[in-house]
Amino acid sequence: NAGVTQTPKFQVLKTGQSMTLQCAQDMNHNSMYWYRQDPGMGLRLIYYSASEGTTDKGEVPNGYNVSRLNKREFSLRLESAAPSQTSVYFCASSDGTASNEKLFFGSGTQLSVL
């Protein structure tokens, strides 16, 4: 089992460029999440998907879109990247029961927007 796989691991973009971060899990989890982590800010939830076909906004959704392509895959898209989106992005998944939200994280994507 690979767990949660994120690609790419590193990316440099110019302001205004677009890109999609890919995430896939092989644990048959229902819920998937995208977080960003900035120094001194901790992990902040961008979007989450409680089940296939559903997505919901988290704390910091502006500037991002997501797609829950199927149960395994949850992608994060930046349509027009801004320097404020420079961050480390983590995808996570969980079994999804209300009192059992143990998150399994991918290895992260370090994104720099110049």
Provide the minimum distance between the beta carbon of 71 and another protein in the complex, in angstroms, as a whole number. Answer: 19
Is it true that the peptide bond before 83 is cis, omega within 30 degrees of 0?
A: no
Close Cβ partners of 22 (under 8 Å, ≥ 6 residues apart): 6, 7, 73, 75
* # of chain residues touching another protein (CB under 8 A): 23
Is residue 79 part of the contact set for another protein (CB under 8 A)? no
The only residue of 16, 83, 101, 114 in contact with another protein, by rule CB under 8 A = 101
The only residue of 34, 48, 64, 74 in contact with another protein, by rule CB under 8 A = 48
Provide the minimum distance between the beta carbon of 111 and another protein in the complex, in angstroms, as a whole number. Answer: 15
